[in-house]
Amino acid sequence: MPKLVFIDRDDTRHEVEVPVGLSVMEAAHRHDIDLEGACEGSLACSTCHVIVDPAWFDKLSEPTEDEEDMLDLAFGLERTSRLGCQIIMSEDLDGLEVRLPAETRNAMV
């Protein structure tokens, strides 16, 4: 199983094993990582915004236009920002590191 590293808001690292095919958002929920995901992965919010370590960013598939539109609503957007619901774990992503942003915005409320 590939490993995924979450770096939370106080710089604590959480290394978890993630089944292939699970999204970063789903992995966070399974391991009690504080990543909201208000729309439950339906690409209707930006609350699962993560900042991908630059060393991993180019290994991800390109974001869709819908994902880019939702990212425009995220706080603390960075060049390597992505939505956790859109990053699907694979063996190629073994060791992926993502940082949780300082804040999120729930546009669904």
**pLDDT band at residue 104 using 50, 70 and 90 as cut-offs:** low
- For the segment 97-107, the average pLDDT, to the nearest whole number, is 77
CA angle 54, 42, 23 (to 5 degrees): 45
- Give the pLDDT confidence score for residue 102 in this predicted structure: 84
Tens-place pLDDT, residues 26-80: 999 999 999 999 999 999 999 999 999 999 999 999 999 999 999 999 989 999 9
Q: Which two structure tokens, joined as six digits, stand for 79?
A: 């060049």
The rounded percent of the chain whose pLDDT value lies above 70 is 94
**Is the pLDDT at 107 greater than 70, yes or no?**
no
Domains, the chain, in order of start with CATH, read 3-99 (3.10.20.30)
**In the predicted model, what is the mean pLDDT of the chain?**
93
Q: How far is CA 90 from CA 8, 32, 87, in A?
A: 22, 21, 9
Q: Which two structure tokens, joined as six digits, stand for 97?
A: 């590191």
- Give the pLDDT confidence score for residue 63 in this predicted structure: 97
Cα dihedral 34→40→105→17 (10° resolution): 30
